[in-house]
A = this chain, B = another copy of it.
């Protein structure tokens, strides 16, 4: 965090938000943050402005910044868009992937197999992230990659919740298999469809999401 204070603060606070260190609805006191990071209010404010522009915090005039609290419906909408973007990335990846991309994808896939076999949710979570990033990269569209990374990051906490659902890890891994197959064999539309369905919060998974959200909320407050 040495070189660029504002950027560092932004990352630090953003990280705090997506890791639920700062919970939705929480007020972010400028003075408090400034003290905590050992800087003045100025860079803190500038970092908060950036987060506000991204949509992670809301700044209400004269009333400070609060962590935005997306309702279940909005989270659903975000997953809906994420599904589309990932589908697009998969489609492009199927057409454009290089040998290097192929190796990265297969390596990430293998790692996911390991962590899903030993049933380690935390490890799977990270390996899964690597897997999806490999797809983004293989799309070779820098703008799309940025959009995917940004949205993926925002959905981090909820993605993590989903893995808690029984058997989700195994199911997820199986879906990965079909995705890898489609991408590597160049079937753009199949890759798109599989990825879209892999991400989308459809049917049971929507009620699962609501339930786990409610459970988490309860756990946090009690």
Contact = CB atoms under 8 A, between A and B. Distances in A.
Given A50-B53, A81-B88, 10 more contacts: A4-B61, A6-B49, A45-B46, A47-B49, A50-B50, A74-B143, A80-B141, A81-B144, A81-B147, A84-B88
State the oligomeric state as a number of copies.
2
Given A49-B6, A50-B50, A51-B53, A143 B85 contact: no
B144 A77 contact: yes
Interface string A130-142: 0000000000011
What DSSP secondary structure best describes chain A's contact surface?
Answer: helix
Nearest to A77: B143
Contacts of A143: 74, 77-78, 80-81
A3 interface: yes
Kindly state the interface size class of chain A when it binds its partner.
20 to 34
Contacts of A74: 142-143
Contacts of A50: 49-50, 52-53
Interface in A15-43: 42
Q: Which 4 A-B pairs have the closest CB atoms?
A: A53-B53, A50-B53, A77-B143, A49-B49
B46 A142 contact: no
A52 B77 CA distance: 25
Interface string A45-80: 111011111110000010000000000001001101
A45 B10 CA distance: 15
